Structure 1
Amino acid sequence: MEDQVMSEVHIGCPPGVSGPHLSHFFFSIPSGVEQSESSIENDGAISGHQGLDWDDDGDLVLTRRNKLSNKKCGLTIQHMITSSIPSVGLQVWRAELILADFVLHRMFTSSDFEGITTIELGAGTGLVGILLARVAKSVFLTDHGEQILENCAANVCLNSAIFNSQAAVHVRELDWKNSWPPKTDFDYNSQKRFSWTISEFEEAQRASLLVAADVIYSDDLTDALFSMLEAIMSHGPDKVLYMALEKRYNFSLDDLDVVANGYSHFRSYLRDGGDNAELGSLGDWHFPPFFGKCVDLSEIPQYIRQYDRGNDVELWQIKYEKRKP
């Protein structure tokens, strides 16, 4: 039997549960953000309850709403409480919730994500992409493995009521170790549930936003990810990737110290992408074509309350420098 791992987010979930579990994640909509009445009703229905709390004696706790929040909304995510390492996409991870906070903050404070096409890489449960479907035009939730894709598709169905009326949400297979473009149903000669159509691939090429969370834990997989990113980001309009990741420390015999080698390998792909970095001015092409800038998480409010951010999670903005002919 494969070793099982457990996300910190699931601590406190019912012990001994072997099958899928439903968790409700709530977030508050700041004052001044408009929302249709139907959307408000749907949010209440999806959460399964109205966010009421009880004390240890079973009495209802009435909390006063703060000035930043006038509506509490939520989404329901089906996930496993534990999983094998190859199936970690069946769980919700801390970096995924930090990326969700970032997405919510941009949605509440700007119109940047309205009407866009976006791709989530290593979508897992699909939580972040599902939130983006509140404002985006097209969302591609991509991952690898039938079980993970089936679970992601189930979460799309569970939360479809919170999507904007024009949103098209696609759950699609994307193996980073294969080439881009991905195989289409034409290539397979038969329709597969999670295969791409040619029109979907053409739409994905026009994506302006990529998102990914907790996909850095194996050097081989990181190499495959950046190879896929270069293939995707080098075509079509300029794209930006927002990636949330958690530093994972292990004792290294080579270093005789506790180090985050996976994080160091990830950083080796990035050049400084601060505000003063000049894209389009590369002269030495042996440097990585990716520019990275770490986002200050202290500037991102924690809209989703059901997790502890900790100190080892980072959010990166990554851009790609297209090579000139």
Structure 2
Amino acid sequence: MACGGDEEDPFPADDCLFAETFSLDSVFHLMGEELRINQVFGADLGVAAPVWEAALHLCRYLEDESVELRGRRIIELGAGTGLVGILAARLGAEVTLTDLPLALPQLQANVSANTPSDGWPSVPPTVLPLSWGRDHLNFPSDWDLVLCADIIYLPETYPLLVETLAHLCRNGAEVYLSSKMRKEHRTPSFYEEFLPSRFNVELVCHDDKQNNNVYRASLQ
């Protein structure tokens, strides 16, 4: 999810993380698939530019636990480079990738770059803008899975994210969230206070070395 902007905007667009604009092409081998992901540093993308370790943790967890993706309707929030959602689509899921408008060109470019030579096994991933708590009602509630990787870092957005998740999960979707547990961003409080206010939350994987947790959640 991209972040920066004026003080009243909970979704800032530029954290000034990168003074110059440059791109990096990386190859990832996950769940038997080879993904080529372009990361555009600078260009006001801020935290939407890189592939974060939490995204890789989520992919590995889904593989280790044999979470069924084929044929399922999946939406990813704060998709950034699109690694997680693109992988799910390559494995046969019907995927919608969402982020703030500024991040969508990078996201769409990565979708195009990872189109299988024989076509997508289900349908091509859809890329759409979604600002939590603002336009989530434009989206349906009939998902099977909601995927989130390293999007818990701005405390002012936590209530908006819970509101959005509650709408998306109204018909029974499960949520998988992978997070670097940054105390300075009050990430633990999201899972201990905000999310449990509406969801049943279970810690399903902890990586002590990376300080990364994966949670599974379902609407109460």
TM-score, with structure 1 as normaliser: 0.57
| Structure 1 unaligned residues grouped into runs of 5+ | 7-15, 30-72, 183-200, 251-259, 272-287, 299-308
Partners of 2:31 and 2:125 in 1: how far apart?
Answer: 23
Q: The residue matched to 2:114 in structure 1 has which SS?
A: helix
String of CA shifts for 1:138-190, please: whole Å, max 9, x gaps. Answer: 100001123x10100000001011764322310001111314322xxxxxxxx
- Aligned residue runs from structure 1 range 82-93, under 5 A: 87-93=46-52
Contact 2:54–2:149 under 8 Å retained in 1: yes
Identity score, percent: 26
| Structure 2 unaligned residues grouped into runs of 5+ | 1-13
Q: The residue matched to 1:128 in structure 2 has which SS?
A: helix
Residue identity opposite 1:21 in structure 2: L
Choose from 129, 133, 152 the match for 1:177: 133
String of CA shifts for 1:67-115, please: whole Å, max 9, x gaps. Answer: xxxxxx421101134676x731121111111112123335xx46x2220
Partners of 1:74 and 1:27 in 2: how far apart?
Answer: 7
| Range 130-139 or range 169-178, more displaced | 130-139
Shift of 1:319: 0.7
Contact 2:21–2:43 under 8 Å retained in 1: no
Question: Which residue of structure 1 aligns with residue 7 of structure 2?
Answer: none
Partners of 1:296 and 1:92 in 2: how far apart?
Answer: 20
Question: Which residue of structure 2 aligns with residue 310 of structure 1?
Answer: 209
Distance change in 2, residues 1:92/1:137 (3 Å): closer
Question: Which residue of structure 2 aligns with residue 305 of structure 1?
Answer: none
Shift of 1:231: 1.6
User: What is the alpha-carbon root mean square deviation over aligned residues?
Assistant: 2.5
Residue identity opposite 1:166 in structure 2: S
Residue identity opposite 2:219 in structure 1: Y
- Aligned residue runs from structure 1 range 145-160, under 5 A: 145-146=101-102, 148-160=103-115
Count of aligned pairs: 206
TM-score, with structure 2 as normaliser: 0.82
Q: The residue matched to 1:22 in structure 2 has which SS?
A: strand
Question: Which residue of structure 1 aligns with residue 61 of structure 2?
Answer: 102
Partners of 2:148 and 2:26 in 1: how far apart?
Answer: 21
2:158 maps to 1:225 = no
Distance change in 2, residues 1:269/1:20 (3 Å): same
Question: Which residue of structure 1 aligns with residue 218 of structure 2?
Answer: 319
